[in-house]
Amino acid sequence: MHSFPFCPNPHCVWHTKAPDFPWAKPKGFYTTKAFGRVQRYQCSACHKTFSSQTFSLAYYVKKPVALSDILGRLQSGESLRAMSRNLGFSLRLLSNRIDRLARQALALHSQCLQARTGYDSVCIDGFVSFDTSQYFPSEIPIAITAHSQFILDVSHATRRRSGTMTPAQKKKAKELYERIPLERGALSRSFRDTLTSALSFQPPTALHPFVLITDEKPDYERVLFALNAFRTQTEQSRIVHLKIWSKLPRTLSNPLFSSNYIEREIRKDLANHQRETVCFNRNVANGMMRLSVYLMSHNYLKPFRIRAPKGSHPRTHAEAAGIPCALVEQFFAELTGGIRAFLSRVHLSEPMQRTWEKRWKTPGKDTPEYLPKYALA
Q: Over the stretch 330-352, which tens digit does the pLDDT of each residue have?
A: 898 899 888 899 999 999 999 99
Pick the closest to residue 315 from 150, 106, 85 (CA basis).
150
142 and 32 housed in the same domain: no
- Answer yes or no: do 96 and 48 share one domain: no
What gap in Å lies between CA 152 and CA 150, rounded to an integer? 6
How far apart CA 338 and CA 331 sit, in angstroms, is 9
Report the pLDDT value the prediction gives residue 193, as an integer from 0 to 100: 96
CA–CA distance, 208 with 211 (Å, rounded to integer): 9
Report the mean per-residue pLDDT for the chain. Answer: 92
CA distances from 37 to 33, 34, 336, 349 (A): 9, 9, 23, 38
Distance CA 131, CA 287 (A): 9
Give the structural domain span for 45.
1-55
Is 62 a member of any domain?
no
Q: What is the pLDDT along the chain (377 residues), one digit of tens a residue?
A: 467 889 999 999 999 888 888 889 999 999 888 888 899 999 999 999 999 899 999 998 888 888 999 999 998 889 999 999 999 989 999 999 999 999 999 999 999 999 998 899 999 999 999 999 999 999 999 999 999 999 999 999 999 998 899 999 999 999 999 999 999 999 999 999 999 999 999 999 989 999 999 999 999 999 999 999 999 999 899 999 999 998 999 999 999 999 999 999 999 999 999 888 888 999 999 999 999 999 999 999 999 887 777 666 678 999 999 999 889 988 988 998 888 999 999 999 999 999 999 999 999 999 999 999 999 98
Whether residues 99 and 16 share a domain: the answer is: no
What's the structural domain count of the chain? 2
Q: What is the pTM of this model?
A: 0.93
For residues 41 and 76, state if they share a domain: no
Answer yes or no: is 60 within a domain: no
**Is 273 part of a structural domain of the chain?**
yes
Point out the domain boundary residue: 55, 79, 101: 55
3-state DSSP helix/strand/coil percent for the chain, to nearest 5?
40, 15, 45
For residues 42 and 77, membership in a common domain is answered with: no
